[in-house]
Amino acid sequence: MDSNNLTYLLQKGLRVTLGATASLIEVLQDPQKREQNLTQLRTDLSQLAEEWDAKGAMTEQEARNFVDTILEQRQRQQAQPPYDATTQAQTNTATATPAAPPDVQLELQELTAQIAAIRTELEKLRSQNPTE
């Protein structure tokens, strides 16, 4: 038996199975379709197998497109640099133009320095007491 022929038969069998499964789901969801499919099953099984093959091929293509889309999104997410809040804050601070009076700016700078000192002290305390 030729390996191409075997591959074709396996692929066709998979598609027929996918198509039959999709048809079964349709039958379970729609009673009118159920009667139509039962009548069709009685008439010509080979024609039905061809239809299932076509439906299976379509389902297979949809599944591949879905998986490809997910993989592309994952690759795009991995290619983007991670968001860094400190870098973003520094960038925003560096590009901001002073709009407040000088005394308010000085006060803001002092408060920012105090917050940085408190943050450093908190990190120092956390490293000393890792169990809390």
Whether residue 26 contacts residue 33, with contact meaning beta carbons closer than 8 Å, is answered with: yes
**Has residue 87 got a pLDDT over 80?**
no
Percent of the chain residues topping a pLDDT of 90: 0
Nearest to 60 by CA among 90, 117, 19, 97: 19
**Has residue 8 got a pLDDT over 80?**
yes
Are residue 91 and residue 43 in the same domain, yes or no? no
Q: Residue 106 sits in which domain range?
A: 85-128
Are residue 9 and residue 71 in the same domain, yes or no? yes
Are residue 21 and residue 68 in the same domain, yes or no? yes
Are residue 90 and residue 38 in the same domain, yes or no? no
Are residue 89 and residue 52 in the same domain, yes or no? no
**Has residue 60 got a pLDDT over 80?**
yes
Are residue 23 and residue 61 in the same domain, yes or no? yes
Residues ≥6 apart with Cβ < 8 Å to 17: 52, 56
Are residue 62 and residue 91 in the same domain, yes or no? no
pLDDT-derived band at 79, boundaries 50, 70, 90: confident
CB atoms within 10 A of CB 112: 11
Could you tell me what percentage of the chain is helix, strand and coil, using 3-state DSSP and rounding each to the nearest 5?
85, 0, 15
pLDDT-derived band at 102, boundaries 50, 70, 90: confident
Are residue 17 and residue 61 in the same domain, yes or no? yes
- H/E segment holding residue 3: helix 3-29
* Rounded Cα distance, 72 and 94, in Å: 34
User: Is pTM, for the whole model, over 0.85?
Assistant: no
